[in-house]
Amino acid sequence: MSPMLPTDNHVHTRWSWDTAASSSMEAACARAVELGLPGVAFTEHLDFTQWDDGDAGGAGIQVGHRLYVQPLDVAGYSADVARCRESFPGLRILSGVEAGEPHRFPGSVAATLAAGTFDRVLGSLHAIECDGALEFVDRSLFDRLDPHDLMRRYLAEMLELVRDSEKFAVLAHCDYPRRYWPTRRAGQYHETDFEEEYRAVFAALAASGRALEINTRSPMASTELVRWWRQEGGDAVSFGSDAHDPYSVGHEFALAVDIVEAAGFTPGRDRHDFWRR
């Protein structure tokens, strides 16, 4: 028997600056219905190219090269959500954003959230300070820095994000740089190498009462890592495919469910709720 799959709380469509124009909300909804998901949250990218009023930034820190980043069209996005809710009445459709570096851009994030209605706000860390600039973490940054040092710097910044921002309800892909880990140069990635840093992030997140995302686009979290979250007081788990095309909605959710169950989490009050300890 196929498992009862949870809501996909992290989906991107054409309204995100890094997603193809052909990736429509309608197609994502159709895929969710096909898989039997109870709902989807369209959490479009919310990234910024400059410091604005109320942003924390940092003394002497520049916003690094972000050539392709575009602002979110809140009105167009919101109209698209409304159309899909009419077209797919049996699917719970949540509006949302994935706020990049919300602790660095609190003013900019607040201004966007005030411009619309958003049910699900994710907090994400895609960039860290390097040589006086906020730089996206990617393969080129791994080429410039020692991989283990980069991960520790990233997780230290993630801890600051959790402590300094109250704008989000779910912490997305807590170890995002794993996507670019240079195995040939650094060997296999071992979560245990960074256990102390993970646990510090989890303890702070748990104390704030927020949820941890199991991101199925990133290298899949281990049951051990999810257990660390539980041991540090974590109460809630959210599932997110981080889909940037309709076919990837709900990707590997059956495996993610197995991992989360093995770590001691079970479905919430209903299929739309976070999973709970």
Q: Helix axis angle, 223-231 relative to 253-262, nearest 10°?
A: 50
| 71 token code pair | 């602002």
Q: Would you say the C-alpha torsion 190, 195, 198, 202 has a positive or negative sign?
A: positive
- pLDDT tens across 181-228, in order? 999 999 999 999 999 999 999 999 999 999 999 999 999 999 999 999
Work out the number of other CB atoms within 10 angstroms of the CB of residue 254.
13
Q: What share of the chain is helix, strand, coil (3-state, %, to 5)?
A: 40, 20, 45
Q: Which residues of the chain have pLDDT under 50?
A: 1
What confidence score (pLDDT) does residue 58 get? 64
DSSP per-residue string spanning 131-154: TTEEEE-SHHHHHHS-HHHHHHHH
CA distance 178 to 106: 26
Q: What pLDDT is attached to residue 57?
A: 72
Domain range list for the chain:
8-276
Q: Name the DSSP class of 249.
A: T
Collapsing DSSP states into helix, strand and coil, what is residue 229? helix
Distance CA(190)–CA(176), nearest Å, equals 14
Q: Is the pTM of this model over 0.75?
A: yes
* pLDDT given for residue 18 in this prediction: 97
CATH class in words for 8-276: alpha beta
CA distance 210 to 143: 34
Rounded-to-integer distance, Cα 229 and Cα 242, Å? 20
DSSP string, 150-209: HHHHHHHHHHHHHHH--S-SEE--TTGGGGG--HHHH-S--GGGGHHHHHHHHHHHHHTT
Residue 1 is predicted with a pLDDT of: 39
Q: Give the model's pLDDT for residue 60.
A: 79
